[in-house]
Amino acid sequence: MSIFVDSNTKVIVQGLTGGQGRFHGLRNRDYGTKVVGGVTPGKGGTDVDGVPIFDSVEEAVAATGADASFVVVPPRFAADAVIEAAQAGIPFIVCITEFIPAQDEARMYNRLRRDFPGTRLLGPNCPGVISPGQCNIGITSGDIALPGGPVGIVSRSGTLTYQALYDLSQKGVGQTTCVGIGGDPVPGTNFIDCLAAFEADPETKAVIMIGEIGGSEEERAAEFIKEKMTKPVVAYIAGVTAPAGKKMGHAGAIISGSQGTAQAKMKALAEAGVTVAKNPTEAAELMVGIVSKLK
């Protein structure tokens, strides 16, 4: 089992004819993901390395039965692309685009929430999702993931996610699903969504959560873990030494006033019974210890 995506997930790539879309879309297909089509307005009827291109998401869904979309389009078109996928009835959308204007992002999120409550958006500005051995949508390198579980990973940061995946795989501990929720201020899917899904997934036995400075999602996740989760959680929070008022790369990674510090997040998580690691490698090591005792 896995969460959000599995070996049956049929994916279309919005922007497959672009440089990024082609690179990652075909990589996902080569990993074994069912990439059934691409969408680029005006290029319907052509193909990218054998993958058929459609003019609209609606046409692509009608022709392929796709139930997931991978949005790889430039920032100024991304919000519209996501809404188009939702309108076509796609229930799961992954958007990796970085630098979508904040006003567009807020409207997009609220449009989905109001008009398409059955649609889940992952991202924007995220590395995507991988259920090792089954389905990879996004930019994660499939080589560093190990199928078979029992660990689920949810993270706000790309490279730290890869580090955790790699460290676990090197130590022979597999993953059910690894979800990158992204570093933007208004992520479509948050920690709690993923933690709830991992809690409900019988094959996931433990979860690694990687957070960073900014916002209060980690604190809310800590409350959720305390009240609702039975599975062990190991967490790492990046940005202990980050100064206030400076965006640490991600639009959402900023300490404003006393809000959003790593210390506050770590404290909340520790109080919720989470094992808090000092660095990503230690998170993986602690998880290896937990997994070895599960059997």
Contacting positions for another protein (CB under 8 A): 27, 75-76, 99-104, 106-107, 109-111, 113-114, 139-141, 143-144, 155-163, 166, 183, 185-186, 210, 212-217, 220, 236, 238-243, 246-253, 257, 262, 278-281
Tallying the residues shown for the chain, one arrives at: 295
Closer residue to another protein (CB): 109 or 198: 109
Minimum CB separation from another protein for residue 238, in Å?
4
Minimum CB separation from another protein for residue 187, in Å?
9
Smallest Cα–Cα separation from 23: which of 124, 99, 96, 132? 96
Closer residue to another protein (CB): 60 or 144: 144
Residue 24 annotated among the catalytic residues of the structure: no
Give whole-number Cα distances, 178 to 59, 91, 162, 256, in Å: 30, 19, 9, 29
Catalytic residue among 22, 24, 250, 265: 250
Minimum CB separation from another protein for residue 236, in Å?
8
Minimum CB separation from another protein for residue 58, in Å?
23
Minimum CB separation from another protein for residue 27, in Å?
7
Between CA 268 and CA 280, with CA 274 as vertex, the angle to 5 degrees is 100
Closer residue to another protein (CB): 60 or 284: 284
Name the amino acid, one letter, at 192.
Answer: I
Closer residue to another protein (CB): 66 or 130: 130
Closer residue to another protein (CB): 75 or 89: 75
Closer residue to another protein (CB): 64 or 261: 261
Smallest Cα–Cα separation from 124: which of 85, 153, 171? 85
Minimum CB separation from another protein for residue 101, in Å?
4
Place of tokens 């069912």: 34
Active site (catalytic) residues: 250
